[in-house]
């Protein structure tokens, strides 16, 4: 939706100084100068300087000249100005608005308004730039010269470039599963403080594998200007799991790759995707072409889907997205599906995501709210039921999403189309969505994606906003590296989701007597079946057995904290890879949950913890992604933090001087408690505070936990009167979750 296009050449001009490129997340001072055009600006007219919704640039403030983000505005002719800042005072996606109104006086042609973002003249360090890269970051200026509150965009906008900083960590990425003798790649990159791939990496490192890898060089060298390294033509001649360390010149391990499993033979292999995100053409950052390039070349994904809010996707942009999906799709290299986010109002079904098998299909929008061309408005699907009806007969699938709006699958669900639910994204963690499915008897798989708005699909660091979570990934267990193979995996629910880590996960059900495996949900017509003695995640089966053997095999890059084994809504066991005798001086404090399901779900956990008659020898945060928020040890017995959760969890580990002495005090707005240190054991102490799993948990762990792998077998009793949805959630020490899709068994 555009602003007025009335005579923009007569509306003036704007410049920004200094110009050039600036490091993401750094503090800077910028002077934006607006020079009035032919009409000037009349008394009570106004000016807006707007930024994208996705931008997490520091919020301008006008009261403390020595504090960050101090901003001043003045008119060169002495006109009196009203200055306000609002995060939603303009047309989406340019929501964030510095509003400047002339309340006494007016501007003639040539008069100027001087805006100093991060004015340093009285001690402010400047304004903090957004934490992610954008090579055309605009201080977009809009003018209302006639005092009618109808704005005209200037024809040329002040622009700077936001670039990555130096690397603070390195990442090493392998595929998750390949067959014996099959070639694979090792991908390497450095990331800056805010998770941006850095082109300032330099130095030579050695590579050390946990098992022999054919073709692996002894050394690799990063050169400035390069964002990543790729080592091709690797293979392994023995089955098993392998990981590769990147080692610096001092012999220190800089990073360790995710584990790769080499199988003798496998019908299905593992492929990673981020199936949900947006670019600047809707509400995200950087172009749709940049979006796919980042996913393939910087995040090392196998698959990606652009899913912009449908009410912002013009016909021209939809056609362009189809061109891009065809261009970027290359079997055995990178797969893209055409798709969109159906963004209906919550009361009409809430957010759904559509993945199409082929290009050239009609987009069915939830509305034309931000699209002026109404020529295809008759193809809109206002409710999720309308969407399901419009998609009948299409080769596609739908999954339920929780974003600004949340999917209400209790209101609306379609068995052949809606195959999965997205339990994690940059918006947070939403396990209640799979619980809703169990309550309704829906048989769906579990996905995790990013819905990233910052131009980093597959590596979606939340930056410095109320997006409190790292974006998720989906691992598809597919018969081929192709659209057809990935669509089959998604339709059969042969996939699992993570909060961003790459983990090996195999879940199998083994039956005492042969069970009936269905080709699709038997609620549908035309479904075939066959008799089997084993099943994998996503399968739907009928069995006469009273019990089933559940086999769990997990190997991740981080030690395992716990595995929750679930049958639908019931957690039947919490497995920890260590016993009571392994516990030491380390305690873990976790805050988690959300206020409620809607937009205002953020829960603030600002507070502190302190010990009396004891001390902390070391404190380390968990999931502390919002680096502008405080987390610091204040003396030997106190830690202070600022934090929020949106359904996921964060917290800290503390190593105590004495394993048993003293008292732990926790003080937040929602929870104030004291615990005797000696009472903290392996089983968690929970302090609940309403909301959706809104609580603080405290428990004890071993000082060192070496268990990155777990292989379990459990006999599970099957219920007679309902589906048995058998699945697991793995919690890793580094703060990542992994969810398998359920195996559905009915009697």
- Please state which CATH number belongs to domain 169-266: 2.60.40.1930
| Residues above pLDDT 90, as percent of the chain | 95
- Over the stretch 140-150, which tens digit does the pLDDT of each residue have? 999 999 999 99
pLDDT at site 722: 94
In order, the DSSP letters of 75-104 are ETT--EEEEEEETTSSSTTS-EEEEEEEEE
Task: Determine the Cα–Cα distance for residues 292 and 445; give it in Å rounded to an integer.
Answer: 25
Confirm if 231 and 216 have CB atoms less than 8 A apart: yes
* Cβ neighbours, 10 Å, residue 567: 22
Cis peptide before 18 (omega within 30 of 0): yes
pLDDT over threshold 90, residue 600: no
Instruction: Answer whether residue 696 shows pLDDT above 90.
Output: yes
Q: Taking the CA atoms of 648, 455, 322 and 351 in sequence, report the sign of the dihedral they define.
A: positive
Is pLDDT of 414 > 80? Answer: yes
Could you give the angle at the alpha carbon of 729 between the alpha carbons of 724 and 734, nearest 5°? Answer: 180
pLDDT level of residue 16 (50, 70, 90 thresholds) = very high
Q: Are strands 96-104 and 46-51 parallel, antiparallel or unpaired?
A: antiparallel
Q: What is the pLDDT of residue 482?
A: 98
User: Rounded to whole angstroms, how far apart are CA atoms 739 and 382?
Assistant: 32
Sequence ranges of the domains in the chain: 8-163, 169-266, 270-500, 581-701
| CATH class of the structural domain 8-163 | mainly beta
Question: Whole-number mean pLDDT of the chain?
Answer: 96
The residue-averaged pLDDT of 156-163 equals 98
Average pLDDT rounded to a whole number, residues 251-274: 96
Among 382, 449, 379, 440, residue whose Cα is nearest residue 414 = 440
From CA 413, how far away is CA 396, in angstroms rounded?
15
- Per-residue pLDDT tens digits for 354-391: 999 999 999 999 999 999 999 999 999 999 999 999 99
Rounded CA-CA distance 329/356 in Å is 13
Average pLDDT over residues 1-6: 83
Count of C-beta atoms within a 10 Å radius of residue 704: 10
pLDDT value of position 627: 87
pLDDT score of 404: 81
Close Cβ partners of 156 (under 8 Å, ≥ 6 residues apart): 13, 14
Task: Determine how β-strand 30-35 pairs with β-strand 13-17.
Answer: antiparallel
CATH 1.20.1250 fits 581-701, yes or no: no
Helix (H) or strand (E) holding 223: none
- Residue 190, classed as helix, strand or coil, is strand
Residue 70 gets which letter from DSSP? B
Tens of pLDDT along 507-560? 999 999 999 999 999 999 999 999 999 999 999 999 999 999 999 999 999 999
Listed in sequence order, the residues at least 6 apart from 694 whose beta carbon sits closer than 8 Å to its beta carbon are 592, 593, 594, 595, 603, 670, 688
pLDDT at 467 over 80: no
Contact 228, 205 (CB under 8 A): no
Q: Do the two domains 169-266 and 270-500 of this chain adopt the same fold?
A: no
Which homologous superfamily is 270-500 in?
Metal-dependent hydrolases (3.20.20.140)
Looking at the predicted structure, is the pLDDT value of residue 1 above 80?
no
Q: How far is CA 243 from CA 240, 259, 273, 541, in A?
A: 10, 5, 21, 35
Cα of first residue to Cα of last residue in the chain, in angstroms, is: 54
CA 143/CA 156 separation, integer angstroms: 13
pLDDT, position 2: 74
* Kind plus residue range of the DSSP H or E element containing 436: helix 432-440
- Does 466 score more than 70 pLDDT? no
Closest by Cα among 733, 717, 316 to 548: 717
Whether the predicted model's global pTM rises above the 0.75 cut: yes
Q: What is the DSSP letter of 402?
A: B
């Amino acid at each position: 939706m555009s602003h007025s296009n009335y005579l923009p050449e007569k509306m003036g001009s704007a410049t920004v100084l200094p110009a050039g490129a600036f490091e993401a997340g750094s503090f800077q001072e910028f002077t934006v100068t607006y020079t009035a055009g032919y009409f000037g600006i009349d008394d009570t007219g106004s000016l807006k300087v707007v930024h994208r919704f996705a931008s997490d640039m520091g919020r301008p403030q006008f009261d403390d000249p020595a504090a960050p983000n101090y901003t001043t505005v003045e008119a060169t002719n002495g006109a009196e100005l009203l200055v306000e800042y609002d995060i939603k005072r303009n047309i989406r996606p340019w929501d964030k608005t510095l509003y400047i109104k002339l309340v006494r006086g007016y501007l003639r042609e040539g008069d100027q308004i001087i805006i100093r973002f991060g004015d340093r003249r009285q001690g402010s360090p400047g304004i903090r730039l957004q934490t992610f890269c954008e090579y055309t970051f605009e201080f977009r200026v809009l003018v209302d010269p006639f005092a009618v509150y109808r704005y005209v965009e200037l024809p040329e906008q002040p622009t700077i470039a936001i670039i990555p900083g130096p690397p603070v960590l390195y990442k090493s990425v392998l595929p998750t599963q390949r067959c014996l003798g099959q070639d694979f790649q090792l991908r390497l990159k450095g990331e800056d403080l805010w998770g941006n791939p850095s082109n300032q990496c330099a130095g030579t490192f050695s590579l050390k594998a946990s098992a022999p890898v054919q073709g692996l060089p002894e050394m690799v060298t990063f050169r400035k200007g390069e964002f990543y390294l790729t080592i091709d033509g690797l293979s392994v001649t023995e089955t098993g799991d392998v990981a590769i360390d990147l080692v610096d010149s001092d012999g220190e391990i800089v990073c360790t790759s995710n584990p790769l499993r080499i199988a003798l033979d496998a019908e299905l292999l593992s492929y990673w995707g981020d199936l949900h995100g947006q670019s600047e053409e809707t509400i995200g950052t950087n172009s749709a072409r940049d979006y796919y390039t980042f996913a393939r070349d910087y995040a090392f994904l196998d698959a990606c889907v652009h899913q912009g809010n449908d009410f912002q996707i013009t016909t021209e942009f939809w056609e362009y997205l189809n061109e891009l999906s065809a261009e970027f799709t290359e079997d055995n290299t990178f797969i893209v599906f055409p798709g969109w986010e159906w963004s209906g109002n919550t009361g009409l079904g809430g957010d759904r995501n559509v993945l199409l098998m082929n290009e050239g299909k009609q987009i069915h929008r939830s509305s034309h709210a931000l699209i002026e061309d109404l020529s295809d408005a008759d193809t809109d699907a206002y409710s999720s039921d309308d969407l399901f009806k419009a998609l009948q007969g299409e080769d596609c699938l739908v999954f339920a999403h929780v974003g600004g709006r949340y999917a209400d699958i209790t209101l609306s669900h379609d068995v052949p189309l809606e195959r999965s639910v997205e339990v994690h994204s940059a918006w947070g963690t939403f396990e209640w969505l799979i619980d809703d499915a169990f309550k309704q008897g829906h048989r769906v798989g579990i996905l995790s994606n990013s819905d990233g708005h910052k131009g980093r699909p597959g590596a979606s660091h939340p930056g410095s906003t109320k997006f409190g979570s790292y974006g998720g990934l989906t691992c598809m267990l597919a018969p081929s590296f192709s659209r057809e193979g990935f669509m089959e995996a998604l339709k059969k629910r042969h996939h699992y989701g993570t909060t961003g880590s790459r983990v090996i996960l195999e879940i199998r059900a083994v039956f005492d007597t042969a069970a009936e495996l269905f080709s699709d949900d038997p609620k549908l017509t035309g479904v075939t079946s066959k008799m089997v003695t084993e099943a994998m995640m996503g399968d739907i089966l009928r069995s006469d057995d009273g019990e089933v053997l559940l086999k769990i095999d997990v190997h991740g890059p981080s030690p395992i904290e716990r595995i929750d084994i679930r049958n639908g809504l019931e957690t039947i066991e919490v497995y920890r890879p260590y016993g009571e005798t392994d516990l030491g001086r380390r305690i873990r404090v976790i805050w988690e949950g959300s206020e409620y399901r809607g937009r205002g779900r953020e829960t603030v956990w600002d507070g502190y913890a302190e010990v009396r008659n004891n001390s902390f020898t070391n404190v380390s945060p968990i999931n502390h992604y919002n680096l502008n928020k405080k987390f610091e040890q204040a003396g030997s017995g106190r830690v202070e933090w600022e934090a929020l959760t949106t359904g996921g969890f964060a917290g800290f580990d503390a190593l105590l001087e004495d394993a048993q002495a003293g008292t732990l005090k926790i003080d937040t707005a929602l929870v104030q408690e004291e615990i005797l240190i000696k009472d903290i054991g392996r089983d968690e102490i929970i302090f609940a505070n309403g909301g959706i799993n809104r609580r603080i948990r405290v428990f004890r762990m071993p000082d060192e936990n070496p268990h990155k792998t777990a292989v379990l077998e459990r006999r599970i009793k099957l219920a007679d009167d309902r589906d048995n949805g058998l699945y697991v959630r793995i919690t890793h020490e580094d703060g990542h979750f992994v969810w398998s899709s359920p195996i559905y068994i009915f009697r």
